Chain A
Amino acid sequence: MTLNPFLRLICSLATLLSLSFQALATVSVVDDTGQNVTLTAPATRIISLAPNITEILFHIGAGAQVVGVVSYSDFPPEALKIAGVGTYDQLDIEAILKLQPDLVVGWSSGNSAEDLKTLEELGLTVYRNESKTLEDVASSMQQFAALTGHSAMGNTQSATFLEGTLSLQKRYQDRKNLRVFYQIWGDPIYTVNGHHLISHLIDQCGGTNIFSGLETLAPVVTTESVIERNPEVIVAGVYPGPVPEWFGEWNKWSGIEAVKSDHLYTIDTNHISRMGPRILLGMQAMCEAIDKGREGRH
């Protein structure tokens, strides 16, 4: 039975159209290691292998599509209800497979490279993310948005984020420069050198990290060396809760300018140490703390 030629035309056109829609749905993105990641359609079952990745996914509207996260994915609160797939350095591969994801977003330097390769060998699509700078965070937002079908929101969030950082920088960078000591831990004293993002944030807030010249990224330093460098502001990254005992120890050393003028501040380490949207909050807290240091003695 031959088809009516007109009907045949309709069928061909329909096929052509559906094929082009299919082509439109295909997503191809280059990840942070230069690898091409292609999906036939925007991802609907995503596994996040780092807490900051989880935050970014939620931030660009893809939260409902996340089906598995690693531990410490505690923001936003909805993320706590998602199934766990191990820790960022010890992935639970079986749990990942059971969740049948169509996209796994990994942390290039944090996850085990062998684990990520294993996931690929088992047939999963892996996107390797590595965010080291504020611009990286912004571009991650766009990349994840493209992969998950939220391009519009991703672009908006990314632009807002960058604007936020630039406006903070513009507001604070050229103010009076102060010597800043940033402390990750107290016993022993861990700080950051000039290559660390937190040191860059200090710069952008108009401060100078007193240990920027050291070679190690997160060195242990002596109390003496802090006293000698005489910071004007001391900032510690802490977890929410009571102020750690080691931070109060600085009050003993009244020779330090920051102690004399009472410019000792704590900021939420979850904001400033996690490469996600909340780093803007961390940057703001840092800039405000340093700015208070400009007020002189209390």
Chain B
Amino acid sequence: MPTTHPRRTLLLLLGGAILTFVVALSFGSASISWLKVIESLRTGATSLDYTVVMELRLPRAASAFVVGGMLALAGVLMQVLLRNPLADPYILGTSGGAAVAALTAMLLGWHSGLVSTAAAVGAMFSMALVFFLARGRGDWAITRLLLTGVVLAAGWGAGISFILAVSPASHLYGMLFWLMGDFNDAGPGLFRPLLLIASLTGTMVIARNLNLITLGEDRAEALGVHTLAVRIGIYLLASILTAAAVTLAGTIGFVGLVVPHMVRMVIGSNHSSVVPASVLFGGILLVLAETLARTLIAPRMLPVGVITAFVGVPLFLYLLRSGLKRQDS
């Protein structure tokens, strides 16, 4: 497996993250004079440029970075938990439960704060449901977990279709944008960044266990890993991260599935590097996608989830092919 030195990659990603933020703050529908922004920062007087950069673009970029990081981390965890490269944060139905709850809240005319709360409740409910249904006779078989989650996700999907079918046309606007991924202008708040940092730290602590579990459950057990406890922990953490991401930005696809793979293609499979690199790269990707979503067809706006796919697919395929070429040569 071709690898680039992990520490170098991480530093590059960190630099990339900062650069991406600068890009996000510089571009948009309105043309901004950085001089005016800096002046406002110094003198404290408000100007239009300052408002746009600090109160519109910065919160959105921050939200995008945090959500991208959370989804990427959740993706890594899901892929370890299910030992399946096709796993993404939504595979076990957490996002489906959030979506059904959020759309129902919108149908009832609740305002956006309550909609987010409903989404969180829906996500937690789905997570608990899968947890209890898959436990069965105390055995934590991967297959049963996967099947339970996938079927539940399909059930939620049917629920989403139903709600979309019966909603009056006026409500569809908000619903479709929520489903395709949409940041409102509020920032990520305090809770989510803290959650991301705590999750990242916690995952780094058990990175060695993650490596071992990927090799196989029996081998991991033999090497002293309490696989059941770790797997339950991973499941809960991944679900909470997914719920936190989806309640802020709706169901943005692709990031959680593809970022871990892209990172592994570059720096190998050691989770002590894969985990932080995925968080950084996921954040970068989503900030770029968010910037493109509001600048590509300005003044119009695209849903972010559309951009992550448009950007992610060619990028992923390119990395895949260049990885193959390197293997052949």
Query: Do A and B interact with each other, yes or no?
Result: yes
- The listed residue (B29, B173, B184, B294) touching A185 by CB distance below 8 A is B173
Interface: A280 (CB within 8 A): no
* Cα distance A228–B48 in the bound complex, in angstroms: 9
Q: Does A76 sit at the interface, judged by CB under 8 A?
A: no
Chain B 59-115 residues near chain A, CB threshold 8 A: 111-113
Q: How far is the CA of A78 from the CA of B73 in the complex (A)?
A: 58
CB distance from A151 to the nearest CB of B (A): 34
For A211, what are the chain B residues with a Cβ–Cβ distance below 8 Å? 299
* B51 part of interface (Cβ distance < 8 Å): yes
The chain B residue with its CB closest to the CB of A273 is B170
* Residues of chain B lying within 8 A (CB to CB) of residue A189: 301
Q: Does A121 contact B (CB under 8 A)?
A: no
A223 to B56, CA, bound (A): 8
Q: Are B294 and A224 in contact (CB under 8 A)?
A: yes
Chain A contacts of B55 at CB under 8 A? Answer: 252
Q: Are A224 and B29 in contact (CB under 8 A)?
A: yes
Q: Does B188 contact A (CB under 8 A)?
A: no
Which residue on B lies nearest to A244, using beta carbons?
Answer: B111
A150 to B30, CA, bound (A): 55
**B300 proximal to A (CB < 8 A):** yes
A188 part of interface (Cβ distance < 8 Å): yes
Which of A244, A249, A255: most chain B Cβ within 10 A? A255
Residues of A within 8 A of B29 (CB): 221-222, 224-225, 228
- Is A219 part of the binding interface, using a Cβ–Cβ cutoff of 8 Å? yes
Q: A225-B29, A245-B111 are in contact. Are A255 and B51 (CB under 8 A)?
A: yes
A220 on interface, CB distance cutoff 8 Å: yes
Question: What's the interface size class on A, roughly?
Answer: 20 to 34
Q: Are A214 and B52 in contact (CB under 8 A)?
A: no
The answer to whether B294 touches A222 (Cβ under 8 A) is yes
Contact partners of A228 in chain B: CB under 8 A: 29-30, 52, 299
* A222-B298 contact given A185-B170, A187-B174, A255-B48, CB 8 Å threshold: yes
Separation of A102 and B113 alpha carbons in the complex (Å): 50
B28 interface residue (CB < 8 Å to A): yes
Cβ of A188 and Cβ of B174 under 8 Å apart? yes
B249 CB, min distance to chain A CBs, angstroms: 13
Task: Flag if B300 contacts A214 (CB, 8 Å).
Answer: yes
B51 and A253: CB pair below 8 A? yes
Residue of B whose beta carbon sits closest to that of A215: B300
Assembled-state Cα–Cα distance A178/B48 (Å): 20
State whether A227 and B300 are in contact (beta carbons under 8 Å apart), knowing that A185-B173, A188-B182, A222-B29 are contacts in the complex: no
User: With an 8 A cutoff between CB atoms, is B177 at the interface?
Assistant: yes
Of the residues A184, A224, A249, contact of B52 by C-beta under 8 Å: A224
Say whether B51 contacts A227, CB under 8 Å: yes
B168 within 8 A of A: yes
Question: A225 is contacted by which of B177, B182, B299 (Cβ under 8 Å)?
Answer: B299
Chain A residues, CB < 8 A from B170: 185, 239, 269
B218 interface residue, CB < 8 Å from A? Answer: no
Q: In this complex, which of A223, A229, A246 has the most chain B Cβ atoms within 10 angstroms of its Cβ? A: A223
Q: How far is the CA of A211 from the CA of B300 in the complex (A)?
A: 10
Q: Are A220 and B301 in contact (CB under 8 A)?
A: yes
The docked-state distance in angstroms from the alpha carbon of A174 to that of B300 is 30
In the complex, B185 has a CB within 8 A of chain A? yes
**Binary per-residue interface labels of chain B (180-194) against chain A in the complex, 1 for a CB within 8 Å, 0 otherwise:** 001011000000000
What is the bound-complex CA distance between A253 and B174, given in angstroms?
22
Q: How far is the CA of A225 from the CA of B170 in the complex (A)?
A: 23
Q: Which 9 A-B pairs have the closest CB atoms?
A: A225-B299, A225-B29, A228-B30, A245-B111, A224-B29, A255-B48, A222-B294, A222-B301, A185-B173
Further contacts, 16 of them, CB under 8 A, given A188-B173, A229-B299: A187-B174, A187-B182, A187-B184, A188-B174, A219-B300, A220-B301, A221-B29, A221-B299, A222-B28, A224-B29, A224-B52, A224-B56, A224-B57, A224-B294, A227-B51, A239-B170
Question: What are 13 A-to-B residue pairs whose CB atoms are below 8 Å?
Answer: A187-B177, A221-B29, A222-B28, A222-B294, A222-B301, A224-B28, A224-B56, A224-B294, A225-B298, A227-B30, A249-B185, A252-B55, A254-B46
